[in-house]
Amino acid sequence: MKEKLEALKENALKRIEEAKELDVLNDIKVSFLGKKGELTAILKGMKDVSKEDRPAVGQLVNDTRAAIEAALEKETSKLQKKLREEKLKREVIDVTLPGEKVKMGHRHPNQIALEALEEVFVGMGYEVVEGPEVEYDKYNFEMLNIPANHPAKDEQDTFYINSEILLRTQTSPVQARVMEQGKMPIRMIAPGRVFRSNEVDATHSPSFHQVEGLVVDKGITFSDLKGTLQQFAQEFFGKDTKVKFRPHHFPFTEPSAEVDITCFKCGGTGCRMCKGSGWIEILGCGMVHPNVLKNCGIDPDEYSGFAFGIGLERVTLLKYEIDDMRLLYENDTRFLKQF
């Protein structure tokens, strides 16, 4: 028994010393001290040892175990230390190298213009609401007094998901969605992305943005509309800006108008910016058509309202004197960071 233990200890210590990896040390531990290990097997043979010899042999087994454990521990910490040192050597950090510059993002000119615009209307008590970009034909056309086969549908050709669902051509459907809820009075703007099957050029894109405006209450008149848009134009483009209403037609407003502002570049005398006319068109507007109110469950004899639709890119291009809409979408940061 004694020789057996001696041989086992020697063997174990030798293998521990030769081990070069933590996994190997663990295997050694298992194979000697584990449940099915060699030392454990010897322990099981104790029953064959005579009673008198048992304490001495027991002591020997314990000593052997302690020696193996101590050797394992020593070798493990030695190996761990070595591995750590190697790792540190591999991962040297040169703290004197200059840091990598973090490139700060920048708000898009469209977004800057939108926030300025929202500020004006929120200041007048408007709420900012959103509607879905994938919209029902019903909201985009039908409820806005544009029935099937109406020529206005041709001008706003878009991308259809199926015969009832499409990518909205305008933000006007948000008007219907808000009115339908029936919470009076309404004073809201609805900015968002719209889609049309447009060819790309300096002033057109298949996807662009609009800001819809809607006010519905008792006794709202065209003069409220004029005053509101005059105020907006002055706050947004400068206090000397004048507005001009030109009669126009939109199916969802009656009467309807297009609004021009005096050219903020030349002040109205005529320049390249306004193509010599002194005026620049910025939006469409009008009094909400009684049919639209009715379609949305609002009594046109009790309530009236006005609406307007601003092309966001249009005012962004004007405000920053950018001459090509495509620049807004190319994501060239050298361009975008100028604003």
- Contacts with ligand DAH by CB under 6 A lie at 170, 172, 212, 250, 253, 284-286, 307-309
Q: State which amino acid sits at residue 113.
A: A
Write the CA distances from 273 to 81, 238, 278, integer angstroms.
74, 16, 9
Least distance (Å) between residue 137 CB and ligand DAH: 15
Which residue's CB is nearer to ligand DAH, number 109 or number 286? Answer: 286
Cα–Cα distance for residue pair 293/181, rounded to 1 Å = 12
Which residue's CB is nearer to ligand DAH, number 16 or number 144? Answer: 144
Cα–Cα distance for residue pair 276/265, rounded to 1 Å = 11
Which residue's CB is nearer to ligand DAH, number 69 or number 127? Answer: 127
Least distance (Å) between residue 180 CB and ligand DAH: 16
Which residue's CB is nearer to ligand DAH, number 37 or number 286? Answer: 286
| Shortest-Cβ-distance residue relative to ligand DAH | 309
Q: State which amino acid sits at residue 188.
A: M
Which residue's CB is nearer to ligand DAH, number 145 or number 170? Answer: 170
CA 53 from centre of chain: 79
Least distance (Å) between residue 212 CB and ligand DAH: 6
Least distance (Å) between residue 284 CB and ligand DAH: 3
Residue count (the chain): 339
Least distance (Å) between residue 266 CB and ligand DAH: 27
Which residue's CB is nearer to ligand DAH, number 75 or number 260? Answer: 260
Cα–Cα distance for residue pair 176/336, rounded to 1 Å = 35
Least distance (Å) between residue 170 CB and ligand DAH: 4
Q: Give the N- to C-terminal CA distance of the chain in Å, as an integer.
A: 90
C-beta of residue 154 within 8 angstroms of C-beta of residue 93: no
Q: Maximum distance among all alpha carbons in the chain?
A: 123
CB atoms within 10 A of CB 331: 9
CA 318 from centre of chain: 27
Which residue's CB is nearer to ligand DAH, number 72 or number 167? Answer: 167
Least distance (Å) between residue 133 CB and ligand DAH: 14
CA gyration radius for the chain?
A: 41
CB atoms within 10 A of CB 267: 15
Non-local (6+) Cβ contacts of 151 within 8 A are none
